[in-house]
Amino acid sequence: MKVLKFGGTSVGNIQNIKSVTKIIVDGEKKIVVLSAMSGTTNTLVEIADAIKNKDVEIANKTILLLSKKYRQVVESLFENSTIKQQVTIYVDSIFSKLLQITSKVYNELLYSTIVAQGELLSTFIFTKYLVQQGVKAQLLPALEFMRIDRLNEPDNFYIQQNLNRIISENLPADIYITQGFICLDADGNIANLQRGGSDYSATIIGAAINADEVQIWTDIDGMHNNDPRFVENTQAISNLSYEEAAELAYFGARILHPQTVMPARTANIPVRLKHTMRPERQGTLINNKVTDEGIKAIAAKDGITAIKIKSARMLLAYGFLKKVFEIFEKYETPIDMITTSEIAVSLTIDNITFLNAITEELEKFASVEVDQNQSIICLVGHSIVNHSKTHCLFNVLQDFSIRMISYGGSENNISLLVNTKDKIKVLKNLNSYVFENSVIA
Ligand code: ASP
Ligand code: MG
């Protein structure tokens, strides 16, 4: 069985809902994982924020606006009056539940409950739409099988047991619909897999049922070899290994939630990225095969902070890095890039929640310099450091100040840290050199 995940834009309007229906109704049994309709989760976060700020009026107003949008969707999707009535009752119940909680005291659980409503709405509406169209569709509530443990990792055993049980109880259906993003936590409270987490839901589900393939359907025809928002004429990459895709997903190719590849890789399930509005396009296939050497893609990640830690005590000493790392560990702040010289170490973080506390502790034994507004530019591919063009990268970059370079940490990645103001120019320069064969003087 295959697992097909459709993102917010794929279920964001009537026309796209109809396109999705065409794609999934092909006589094969499958699981369909849905995000919330586009814009909905952002609006739900706004509602949660208004409640947090005790702005009940704004919260209520936003809920009413959103409910209007859903009423229109229901109006235009359903002709069958019985089904239309069922959907209307469900949609109304969600919005009246939301209106009832706007005066409650804000906490994490309230937030999780609010943001979960988007996927509950989209899956209910879509399942009923399929039923109206004569498809044997069955909703499988994610909250009956999707669970994370105390470390916020998927509880794979629980998921596998429960999902397979629920499927076996619903064998006659052709298409199973379920919610992406939402889950229970270890205490059984409603939780989620973080923003964009529906992709991750799809591969977790794929691994749990040992799927033939997981397909992520979205509004772009696969992972591109550069960022299409900043660079013209980017191309979809036809094949990526799990390692290459994981590097790209983390370093800013926003099409995939960063953790998505992991469950598929562990279970060796191919992941295919496809364009809902252009299903004839090949898309990107991610699997365990390595094709072609050299640089396949360039991506950038903003919001990076560089920290330079300098100490004469580092000279010829051992244990210095351990001391540094322990401070980041204490504040649960992951380090992304790292470079060292004999008396200094530079590293980058993207979570600056504890930046002040970390800096204070580091300053007890070193001098510390912090640079914000940095971007990591990463070049991803296979056997990348051996590639014939790699040695010329410095020429391409000679007009920019490169704050850090990480080369050789893996076969799949070279990372550069630049000031965010230079990012677009660097992406463009690299693009013409690597993919358009421009000669560098
Ligand atoms: N609806 C959630 C979000 O917007 C999850 C997802 O779309 O993947 O973050
Ligand atoms: Mg997404």
| Ligand 1 pocket, mutate which of 181, 193, 194, 203 (most atoms under 8 A from CB) | 181
Q: What DSSP state is assigned to residue 151?
A: T
Atom number in ligand 1 closest to CA 8: 7
**Helical H segments across 314-419, by residue range:** 320-330, 355-362, 393-396
Residue with tokens 């669970």: 147
Q: What residues form DSSP beta bridges with 378? A: 299, 415
Domain ranges of the chain: 2-218, 296-436
Euclidean distance between CA atoms 73 and 99, whole angstroms: 20
Contacts of 226 (CB under 8 A, 6+ apart): 234, 297, 298, 299, 427, 430, 431, 435
Residue 315, exposed/middle/buried by CB under 10 A (0-12, 13-18, 19+)?
A: exposed
Q: The whole model's pTM is what? A: 0.90
Which tokens go with 407? 């080369």
Which tokens go with 218? 């979205």
Residue 413, exposed/middle/buried by CB under 10 A (0-12, 13-18, 19+)?
A: buried
- One of 1.10.10.10, 3.40.50.150, 3.40.1160.10, 3.20.10.10 is the CATH number of 2-218, namely 3.40.1160.10
Give the ligand at the shortest distance from the Cα of 180. 1
| Ligand 1 pocket, mutate which of 6, 9, 35, 123 (most atoms under 8 A from CB) | 35
Contacts of 181 (CB under 8 A, 6+ apart): 35, 36, 41, 116, 118, 119, 192, 193, 197, 198, 201
Which tokens go with 296? 């396949």
**Spacing, Cα 199 to ligand 2 middle (Å):** 6
**Spacing, Cα 196 to ligand 2 middle (Å):** 4
26 alpha-carbon distance from chain centroid? 28
Atom number in ligand 1 closest to CA 198: 8
Euclidean distance between CA atoms 237 and 37, whole angstroms: 27
**Spacing, Cα 256 to ligand 2 middle (Å):** 6
Give the ligand at the shortest distance from the Cα of 254. 2
Ligand 1 neighbourhood includes 197 CB (under 6 angstroms) = yes
**Spacing, Cα 198 to ligand 2 middle (Å):** 7
- One of 3.30.470.30, 3.60.120.10, 3.30.2130.10, 3.30.2350.10 is the CATH number of 296-436, namely 3.30.2130.10
Ligand 1 neighbourhood includes 198 CB (under 6 angstroms) = yes
Nearest CA to ligand 1 atom 9: 195
Strand boundaries in 152-255, DSSP class E: 175-179, 182-184, 190-192, 213-218, 239-241
**Under a CB-based contact definition with an 8 Å cutoff, are residues 200 and 214 in contact?**
no
| Backbone dihedral angles phi then psi of residue 169, each to the nearest 5 degrees | -80, -10
- Would you give per-residue pLDDT tens digits along the chain (441 residues)? 999 999 999 998 999 999 999 999 999 999 999 999 999 999 999 999 999 999 999 999 999 999 999 999 999 999 999 999 999 999 999 999 999 999 899 999 999 999 999 999 999 999 999 999 999 999 999 999 999 999 999 999 999 999 999 999 998 999 999 999 999 999 999 999 999 999 999 999 999 999 999 999 999 999 999 999 999 999 999 999 999 998 888 876 677 888 999 999 999 999 999 999 999 999 999 999 988 888 899 999 999 999 999 988 777 678 888 999 999 999 999 999 999 888 899 999 999 999 999 999 999 999 999 999 999 999 998 888 777 777 778 888 888 899 999 987 778 889 999 999 999 999 999 998 888 876 544
Ligand 1 neighbourhood includes 41 CB (under 6 angstroms) = yes
**Spacing, Cα 288 to ligand 2 middle (Å):** 23
Give the ligand at the shortest distance from the Cα of 256. 2
**Spacing, Cα 292 to ligand 1 middle (Å):** 33
Euclidean distance between CA atoms 309 and 152, whole angstroms: 31
**Under a CB-based contact definition with an 8 Å cutoff, are residues 187 and 156 in contact?**
no
Look at residue 224 and give its three-state secondary structure. Answer: strand
Euclidean distance between CA atoms 361 and 354, whole angstroms: 11
Euclidean distance between CA atoms 146 and 151, whole angstroms: 15
Give the ligand at the shortest distance from the Cα of 257. 2
**Spacing, Cα 197 to ligand 1 middle (Å):** 6
Ligand 1 neighbourhood includes 12 CB (under 6 angstroms) = no
Number of CB atoms found within 10 A of residue 115's CB: 24
Which tokens go with 338? 């790292």
Supply the DSSP string of 8-24, one letter for each residue. Answer: TGGGSSHHHHHHHHHHH
367 alpha-carbon distance from chain centroid? 36
Number of H helices, E strands in the chain: 14, 16
Ligand 1 neighbourhood includes 195 CB (under 6 angstroms) = yes
| Ligand 1 pocket, mutate which of 37, 111, 192, 195 (most atoms under 8 A from CB) | 195
Query: What pLDDT is stored for residue 441 in this prediction?
Result: 40
Atom number in ligand 1 closest to CA 194: 9
Contacts of 146 (CB under 8 A, 6+ apart): 154, 159, 163, 182, 183, 184, 201, 204, 205
* Topology alike, domains 2-218 and 296-436: no
Supply the DSSP string of 192-211, one letter for each residue. Answer: ES-TTTHHHHHHHHHHHTT-
Amino acid at the residue 29: K
Query: What pLDDT is stored for residue 318 in this prediction?
Result: 81
**Spacing, Cα 115 to ligand 1 middle (Å):** 9
Query: What pLDDT is stored for residue 389 in this prediction?
Result: 73
Ligand 1 neighbourhood includes 118 CB (under 6 angstroms) = yes
**Spacing, Cα 147 to ligand 1 middle (Å):** 17
Distances in Å between the Cα of 279 and the Cα atoms of 16, 22, 271, 282, 284 are 12, 10, 15, 8, 12
Atom number in ligand 1 closest to CA 193: 5
Instruction: Give the angle 274-182-47 at the CA atoms, nearest 5°.
Output: 105
Residue 168, exposed/middle/buried by CB under 10 A (0-12, 13-18, 19+)?
A: exposed
**Spacing, Cα 105 to ligand 1 middle (Å):** 25
**Spacing, Cα 395 to ligand 2 middle (Å):** 36
Give the ligand at the shortest distance from the Cα of 258. 2
**Under a CB-based contact definition with an 8 Å cutoff, are residues 16 and 277 in contact?**
yes
Amino acid at the residue 235: Q
Length of the chain: 441
Pairing, β 239-241 against β 175-179: unpaired
Nearest CA to ligand 1 atom 8: 196
Query: What pLDDT is stored for residue 440 in this prediction?
Result: 47
Ligand 1 neighbourhood includes 270 CB (under 6 angstroms) = no
Give the ligand at the shortest distance from the Cα of 197. 1
Which tokens go with 46? 């706004």
**Under a CB-based contact definition with an 8 Å cutoff, are residues 207 and 198 in contact?**
no
